[in-house]
A and B are shown apart, each in its own frame.
Chain A
Amino acid sequence: MKIAVCIKQVPTRDWQPRVNDQKTWVRDQDAGFELNEPDAYALEEGLRLKEQHGGEVVVCSAGPARVAQALREALARGADRAIHVMDDALATADAFAVSEALAAAMREEQFDLVLTGLQSDDQGFAQTGPILAELLGFASATIIMHVDVQPGGLRVKRELEGGWFQWVALPLPALLTVQSGINQLRYATLKGIMAAKKKEIRKVTPPAGVALRQRIVNLYAPVKSKQTQMIGGSAGEAAKTLVAKLRDEARVLS
């Protein structure tokens, strides 16, 4: 099975985003970047499917030059080769523009299966996968917790809300967005890191003229909806104050 896994590189979780002067994006010059965690689960699922059914795992990403680092990480974990759709503008682009850029580079590869994470930790559109499916003409299903390969297609377990699930059969070629927690992640071994150095990262220029369909006109910190009482002092003092407040003010402890 020829499998593509689409990944995004996002700022690290502990980085504090600060708004730029135009209030249209963050000052990310000082940010560290990492593989978007939901995409790591998609990659792991792709690697497992290849181990079971054979084939190839091609990791794809759209973004500026720094994205090569995330692709290299995926190669170290076991992906066979990579496609990097490179353009600085893709760092802040909407899901449609990113999907268009990916689709243009991926179409000729004729993948059987495309996997993506559920959503990204930066803009959190949760759309790139489903839009890509529409652009490639693939059947798709989202928020997947299990993948079985069957004759003629797939049978996948979709997560519904509130602890409900549903099995759905669909034909190949298909695109699935993978739910975090579907598997246990592997990490790159030293051997994998060495092997990744020899693997191909094909650089592709995105098609010209993909216009943004939505843009941020104002970016700001949320205003607190609740009066939060912040409790300071040493751990012991804070604990004492909190317990007293929970007992006497909120009256939720006896």
Chain B
Amino acid sequence: MARNDLQGSLDLLILKTLSQMGELHGYGIVLHIQRASDEQLSVEEGSLYPALHRMEQSGWIRSEWKLTDTNRKAKYYRMTAAGQKELRKAENSFEQLVKGVRAVLRYA
């Protein structure tokens, strides 16, 4: 249960985004999550970058400086094989969390 905290869900969202979109910069990740969740989820910029940095240090994602479509320099992130594994784990534990929470809610 300890791993199913909020930070865990942020990691999951980032990893999932990268697995779907391939390569993205931080701002792109924020936009994608916002769009994909139908504006339901909004990632706080203040939490995003520490998370990205920590995930990079853990070897789940890799980064590279590139030019954006509008010719701006930005740091692009891409998932590694370790990140794939981590994603599967995070998805599983999230499923469990949802199941658990749902079960509690349905308990009457």
Are A and B a genuine interacting pair, yes or no?
no
User: Which B positions have Cβ atoms within 8 angstroms of A?
Assistant: none
